[in-house]
Amino acid sequence: MKDLFDKLKDAGRDARGTFVVLDEDGNEVEAPAGAPGARPAAPRPAAPSAAPASAPTAGSAPGVPAAVAAATVDPEFVQGLQAACQGSKKAAYTQFQTLYSALGAIGDPAQRAQLALSAAQASHGVTPQQVAEAIDDRLAILAAERQAFDKAVQAETDHSIGATQKRIDAAKAEIAKKADEIRQLEATRVELERGIAEARAAIDGNSARFAASYAVVEAELAAERARIAPFITSNAK
């Protein structure tokens, strides 16, 4: 299962664009992209080429989610899971499987299975119930592998995505805060402009009234000045 976890971590590392630097002992350690002295992590050796088999369709495996049915089977995962199942201590299934493979000339699967079960019981004393129990044991091992993998997926998700998601959430919160500040500033601007308009209107009104009043007084004085003008004698020498 370690190989499967390593492959999962590789995928998360690729998603993060992980770089590595050398520590004091010359070992590679992860470093953020762009860090001084960082260089791309050395690529892992490519898996042996194998023609990827298509995943079973939903019709052939009832209850299989559409995303799983549409996925491509990974030969490395298959080999790892099969190897884990082979760790079962119940050998009845292996004995049955050996006999079933030996009866490959029989075309009918049901007849072939029946003959293999009969042969297993005759040669090894293995009952069909024991074969079923051995298969159930392997299914339990398989389920445990799934749980371990799901746990590793969650851990890698938290490591690869969690920190970035927190930064995104913080950025959203900051944007919301700035947006509120902008709204408040906009309201302040509108209020100040309204105050400017009112003050300008008051000043313009006072200026207009002063000009009108000034004209009245000036006209009165001008009229008085004109009235006495004929009676003014020049003192010029």
pLDDT tens-place string over residues 137-169 = 999 999 999 999 999 999 888 888 888 888 999
Question: Looking at the domain assignment, is residue 45 inside a domain?
Answer: no
Q: What is the pLDDT of residue 96?
A: 94
CA distance 234 to 237: 9
What is the number of structural domains in the chain? 1
- Residue 212 placed within a domain: yes
- pLDDT value at residue 163: 83
Q: Is 139 inside a domain boundary?
A: no
Which residues does residue 54 pair with via DSSP β-bridges, in sequence order? 72
In a domain, 9, yes or no: no
- Interhelix angle 128-157/92-102, nearest 10 degrees: 110
Domain-located, residue 196: yes
- What is the pLDDT, as a whole number, of residue 157? 85
pLDDT at 7: 60
Gap between the Cα atoms of 148 and 155, Å rounded: 11
Tens-digit pLDDT profile for residues 116-129: 999 999 999 999 99
In a domain, 202, yes or no: yes
Does residue 205 lie within any of the structural domains? yes
Q: How many CA atoms lie within 13 A of 180 on its CB side?
A: 5
Range of the domain at 204: 181-226
SS3 content of the chain, % helix, strand, coil (to 5): 70, 5, 25
CA 189, 191, 197 angle in degrees (round to 5)?
A: 100
Query: What pLDDT does residue 132 have?
Result: 95
Q: What is the mean pLDDT, run by run of 10 residues, along the chain of 237 residues?
A: 60 50 48 44 41 44 61 91 93 93 94 95 94 95 95 88 88 96 97 96 96 96 94 71
The whole-number pLDDT of residue 159 equals 84
